[in-house]
Structure 1
Amino acid sequence: MRSGVKSMNSPRLATIGRRMFLGGLGLGVLAASFAAEAQQTTRRPLVGFLCNTMKLARAFGEGLRELGYVDGRNIFVEYRCAEGRMERGPDLAAALLRLKPDLLVGASDPLVKVLVDATHTIPIVMTSSGDPVGNQFVDSLARPGRNVTGVSIIAPELAGKRLELLKTVAPEIAELTVLVNPTNPNASRQLRETEAAARSLGVRLKVLRVPSTTEFDKTFSGMGRASATALFISSDGLFLAERRRIADIALANRMPAIGFAREFAEDGILMAYGSSLPALYHRAAVYVDKILKGAKPADLPVEQPTKFELVINLKTAKAPGLTIPQSLLVRADEIIR
């Protein structure tokens, strides 16, 4: 029977079918190739980190990795660390801004202030701000309202608790030498809180103002070992970077001392009490992730630490002949022997 429709078993139709299939397959592979190439050429975000020390900045990098970011693959992170020389902050910030970053990270209030002064449009994430509201980085902790958000270490009661810890170890303390960086925007607030705590415990204050690394030896020279004196280290990136030098000075003058982060005790200071700085840096990566995914800094509440750690260095306690009460040892999160 004749028909206008050829059989599907026709060799010619089979050949055409194969050609169509192979052609479609080729187009599919080509499309996938173009998609992969487009994905590879998609612009990767650039984050500029103005940091105190590279050691702490690594915790931020670990936080990014846990969120799926790989530096050099799907994100670029440029680090510029002051390493205790806070006067370098403006130059380091300018270097970062020349790179046209999508987001900036500031490690401490002096460095955050440099970034805030430099831009009101690029999002800024704080890793450990001492007073973001008082320094006018944000309108409020709950609703920042500007281009800045992140993590704060603000906790006004910490000065009193640190002084109480010193009095527990050395009850005879009658004078407290307070180390302050006058260039830190939080210096006045920290000093007021320390003065209030000292008054409540009947302790006199002696304030040592150290604005830069070059001032350490001059400030401490000739101080000698005053009886019943302890050293209180205010929160500041300069002191964090110079903690080993401060520990040597405290030991040379046989002064029990307390710092604001565990790194001080690890490097020879008698005690440290405060929030974990690596944990704060790690947490800052979450803010970076949210902002890169579209969240606005103005709408992201500033977080405050809820956990504080006590670290005691028993090796340091032996030098001035101090005995750490057992009641304090059982409270410690870590004891360095």
Structure 2
Amino acid sequence: MLLGLGQQVRRREFIGVLGGATVGWPAVLLSPPLAAEAQQVNKAPQVGFLAMGRHPAFPVFVQALNGLGWVEGRNVVLEPRFAEPGKAEQFDQLAADLVQQGVDVIVALIQPEIIAARRATTTIPIVMVVGVNPVGQGFASSLARPGGNVTGLAWDADPEFTAKNVEILRELLSAPQHIGGIIDPAFPSTVGWEAAQRGALQLGLDLHGVEVRKPDQMEKAFAELRAVRADAVLVFGGSTLFGSRDKIAQLSMNNRLPVMFLYREGAEAGGLLSYGPSLPDLWRRSAIYVDKILRGARAAELPIEQPTKFELVINLKTAKALGLTIPPLLLTRADEVIE
């Protein structure tokens, strides 16, 4: 049985799937309530979770929540909802379902999920896991005091790190002239894109962006980047691109085109390297917000936080397959080298 992508995943059905081998997530994360605990569970707070596909953020979040004393089947009810990969339009219905369910807080993974949750409710607290420009998007009055029902973590609170990605690519390649950028328009990190463009301009490089809305558009994107003679590709954020990281890494090999991601999971999937915030760190920290809200804190008064952990990961296996030599100084700065 699949995870119920794009459907309303009811708690009992989801628990059964998670406890089996199909999903591959630790079975200890969720356990069905014992008969003696049934009445307590019925009164327990409900936590909704919105994400695209079988996202690895969910089990990390659940483990962090367990560590804070909230355990499914004992004192909390988890209500996950997952859209099908590349179908962000499903989030409106999934968010509306959570509101109708009467959840006490909604955890929204990334921008399409956050927007859908915000459209569905202005009263139920919403915790952003990987938010983008929350003040500019109108979700919050300020990072220090959001003032509404949205709080959590802002991935691009310091967008200039994307300029650092361009700088690293310049250091990696001997004489690059053109850098390609793959962008998910559903993840409107225009500030990060503009920072990358400024970084490219300062280094005398051309940055050419290609939009990818669905996974099946990836081959066309690489064909366009080859046509503009891109020397390397920088993959920006978004659920569709994150979920397509294996395919992107394979296309990188097929096209002999080095790819850099903004998250380590891309390098682990076979991309050449990555530099950016640690996503698992953000996934874990989102549970802290949920804990505070369930204990009485108001979302309006919980400051929106920034990433605090940035990682440079280099995949030497991929470098060898592409015939590239990583500069020694760049290797010494890496937080992890995959061999």
TM-score by length of 2: 0.84
Alignment-derived partner of residue 186 in structure 2: 183
| Matching of residues 1-337 of structure 1 within 5 Å | 40=40, 43-52=43-52, 53-82=54-83, 84-85=85-86, 86-154=88-156, 155-186=158-189, 188-221=190-223, 224=226, 227=229, 229-337=231-339
How many Å separate the matches in 1 of 2:331 and 2:187?
A: 33
| Structure 2: stretches of 5+ with no match in the other structure | 1-35
CA 233–112 in structure 1, closer or farther in 2 if over 3 Å, else same:
same
Q: CA deviation at 1:130?
A: 2.3
What SS class does the counterpart of residue 77 from structure 1 fall into? strand
Alignment-derived partner of residue 16 in structure 1: none
**Contact 2:281 2:309 survives alignment (8 Å):** no
How many Å separate the matches in 2 of 1:215 and 1:149?
A: 33
Q: CA deviation at 1:284?
A: 0.6
Among the aligned pairs, what percent are the same residue?
Answer: 43
Pick which of 262-271 and 147-156 moved more: 147-156
CA 119–316 in structure 1, closer or farther in 2 if over 3 Å, else same:
same
Q: CA deviation at 1:189?
A: 2.4
How many Å separate the matches in 1 of 2:194 and 2:83?
A: 27
CA 305–224 in structure 1, closer or farther in 2 if over 3 Å, else same:
closer
What SS class does the counterpart of residue 43 from structure 2 fall into? coil
TM-score by length of 1: 0.84
The amino acid of 1:70's aligned partner reads V
Cα distance per residue 1:42-82 (max 9 Å; x no partner): 71000110023431211110110000111121001111123
The CA RMSD over aligned residues, in Å, is: 2.0
The amino acid of 2:237's aligned partner reads S
CA 223–303 in structure 1, closer or farther in 2 if over 3 Å, else same:
closer
What SS class does the counterpart of residue 113 from structure 1 fall into? helix
CA 242–270 in structure 1, closer or farther in 2 if over 3 Å, else same:
same
Cα distance per residue 1:209-240 (max 9 Å; x no partner): 11122322333346547656110111111110
How many residues are matched?
301
| Structure 1: stretches of 5+ with no match in the other structure | 1-35
The amino acid of 2:172's aligned partner reads V
Cα distance per residue 1:152-201 (max 9 Å; x no partner): 11222111111111111113110011111223232x32322221111011
Alignment-derived partner of residue 14 in structure 1: none
CA 223–131 in structure 1, closer or farther in 2 if over 3 Å, else same:
closer
Larger radius of gyration: 1
How many Å separate the matches in 1 of 2:318 and 2:41?
A: 55
Which stretches of structure 1, 4 residues or more, deviate above 6 A after TM superposition? 36-39
**Contact 2:37 2:74 survives alignment (8 Å):** no
How many Å separate the matches in 2 of 1:180 and 1:46?
A: 34
Cα distance per residue 1:103-124 (max 9 Å; x no partner): 1010001210111111100000
The amino acid of 1:327's aligned partner reads L
